[in-house]
């Protein structure tokens, strides 16, 4: 894959990339923890947004602030902050979604001595008449607070430009998913993970050029649909920061044709309107996007979305990867499983954590599920 080396280096060490970017461009770097963060407002402020996803180091500093039954994503991000490995950050943004992210925000505010700290207190129930007005006000307040923290005026023009860039990234990521869904051999699951993850770390304008190159390369390699002997699968859950999982599934005989992760398709599924008031347009995206279990619309929306995804991609089964101690996704799983099975779609559940269980053990479980399909 074109740009493979560059993307892998960035994903293997986002901290080194962010420090280099800051040094070479002088840009302020703003960290965030969840895909409900309005990246476009950060970009329009002339800063660079970077999504943090846990830590690769041992967790020990965070243990004195968090219970051990907190997910590894939250514990890892706090560890990175307390150890000051990410003290290149000029600020952190916490959208209020799950309880763990909200508590991380409080702990961060009281214990991390670098950068500004901003909360974006989003509505929980997002299908009410007042949710749109409230969300608009929250985003407008974030625009003001961020502008003040960075000492800049965030203009409508800058917001529209940022929306154009992130929409291009979303369109191109979707195109890559579609091409790969037709022929999963075009790119391994782990390569796909690397591309999406890099899009949350790298300079976004540079990323649009990289993604265009990848789309052209995939189109040249093998357009159209391939007949596979592998079983077609959709992966579902909250986040997946475990690239090692993909080759295990592929070696067991599976082809990952789509996913429902906020570190995957939920990141690019919704575009932002490019006309009208830009803050309303960003609010519109958050209201329209496929809901994550930390927000509420109805009981069956997520399951229906997943069933549609399975049908559209011709998948034969769904593997749920649930991060240990992630309550919102764990609470959603029973009814998701029930709805999928009623629609005739087999489901497997795998709890994941840092580090992953032994490879042999995981492969046996994947093989058993794939054999059953
Ligand atoms: S699963 Fe939901 S709450 Fe958790 S990080 Fe993703 S978007 Fe945020
Ligand atoms: S939604 Fe789950 S995985 Fe994401 S931060 Fe909250 S508890 Fe952790």
**pLDDT above 80 (res 187):** yes
Q: Which residues contact 251 (CB under 8 A, 6 or more apart)?
A: 363
Q: Among the listed ranges 4-13, 318-327, 359-368, which one has the minimum average pLDDT value?
A: 359-368
Closest atom of ligand 1 to 73 CA is 5
Structure confidence by residue, pLDDT tens digits, 310-319:
999 999 999 9
Confidence of residue 232 (pLDDT cuts 50, 70, 90): very high
Q: Tokens standing for 10?
A: 């960035």
Asked whether 239 lines ligand 1 (CB < 6 A), one says: yes
Verify whether ligand 1 is closer than 6 Å to residue 238 (CB atom).
yes
Q: How far is CA 56 from each of CA 72, 94, 194, 195, rounded to the nearest angstrom?
A: 10, 21, 16, 19
Segment 143-169 mean pLDDT:
98
* Residues 101-110: tens digit of each pLDDT: 999 999 999 9
Where residue 228 falls among pLDDT bands split at 50, 70, 90? confident
Q: Which ligand 2 atom sits nearest the alpha carbon of residue 262? A: 4
The C-alpha atoms of residue 264 and residue 372 are separated, in whole angstroms, by 26
Question: pLDDT by residue (tens digit) across 319-336?
Answer: 999 999 999 999 999 999
| Atom number of ligand 2 nearest to Cα 99 | 6
| pLDDT given for residue 221 in this prediction | 86
Give the pocket of ligand 2 (CB within 6 Å): 71, 73-74, 98, 100-101, 238-239, 294, 323, 326, 328-329
Q: What is the pLDDT of residue 201?
A: 98
- How large is the average pLDDT for residues 366-373? 95
| pLDDT confidence bin for 241, thresholds 50/70/90 | confident
* Residue 129: predicted pLDDT: 83
Taking residues 360-366, what's their average pLDDT?
90
Q: What is the mean pLDDT of residues 92-119?
A: 95
Confidence of residue 225 (pLDDT cuts 50, 70, 90): low
54-58, Cβ contacts within 8 angstroms, sequence gap of 24 or more: 54/80, 54/241, 54/354, 55/79, 55/80, 55/85, 57/83, 57/85
* pLDDT tens track for 70-79: 999 999 999 9
Write out the H or E segment, with its range, that includes residue 93. strand 91-95
Residue 310 Cα to chain centre, angstroms? 20
Find the ligand nearest to 32 CA: 1
276 phi-psi bin (left φ>0, alpha ψ -120 to 50, beta other): left
| pLDDT confidence of residue 128 | 86
């Amino acid at each position: 894959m074109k740009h493979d080396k560059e993307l892998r280096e960035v994903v293997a060490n986002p901290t080194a990339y962010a420090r280099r970017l800051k040094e070479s461009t002088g840009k302020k770097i703003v960290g965030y923890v969840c895909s409900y963060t309005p990246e476009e407002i950060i970009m329009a402020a002339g800063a660079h947004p970077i999504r943090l996803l846990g830590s690769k180091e041992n967790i020990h500093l965070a243990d004195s602030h968090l219970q051990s039954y907190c997910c590894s994503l939250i514990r890892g991000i706090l560890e990175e902050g307390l150890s000051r490995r990410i003290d290149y950050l000029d600020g952190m943004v916490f959208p209020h979604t799950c309880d763990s992210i909200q508590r991380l925000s409080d702990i961060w505010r009281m214990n991390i001595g670098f950068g500004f700290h901003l909360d974006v207190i989003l509505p929980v129930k997002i299908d009410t008449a007042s949710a749109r007005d409230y969300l608009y006000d929250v985003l407008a307040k974030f625009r003001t607070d961020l502008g003040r923290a960075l000492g800049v005026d965030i203009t409508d023009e800058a917001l529209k430009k940022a929306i154009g860039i992130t929409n291009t990234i979303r369109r191109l990521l979707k195109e890559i998913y579609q091409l790969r869904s037709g022929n999963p051999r075009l790119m391994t699951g782990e390569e796909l993970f690397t591309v999406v993850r890099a899009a949350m770390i790298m300079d976004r304008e540079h990323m649009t050029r990289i993604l265009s190159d990848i789309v052209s390369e995939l189109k040249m390699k093998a357009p159209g649909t391939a007949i596979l002997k592998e079983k077609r699968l959709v992966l579902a859950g909250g986040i997946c920061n475990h690239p090692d999982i993909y080759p295990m599934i592929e070696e067991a005989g599976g082809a990952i044709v789509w996913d429902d992760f906020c570190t995957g398709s939920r990141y690019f599924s919704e575009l932002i309107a490019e006309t009208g008031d830009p803050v309303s347009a960003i609010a519109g995206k958050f209201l329209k996007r496929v809901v994550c279990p930390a927000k509420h619309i109805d009981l069956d929306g997520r399951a229906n979305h997943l069933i549609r995804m399975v049908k559209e991609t011709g998948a034969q089964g769904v593997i749920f990867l649930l991060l240990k101690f992630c309550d919102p996704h764990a609470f959603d799983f029973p009814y998701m499983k029930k709805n999928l099975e009623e629609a005739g779609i087999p489901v497997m559940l795998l709890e994941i954590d840092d580090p992953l269980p032994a490879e042999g053990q995981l492969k046996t479980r994947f093989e058993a599920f794939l054999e059953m399909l």
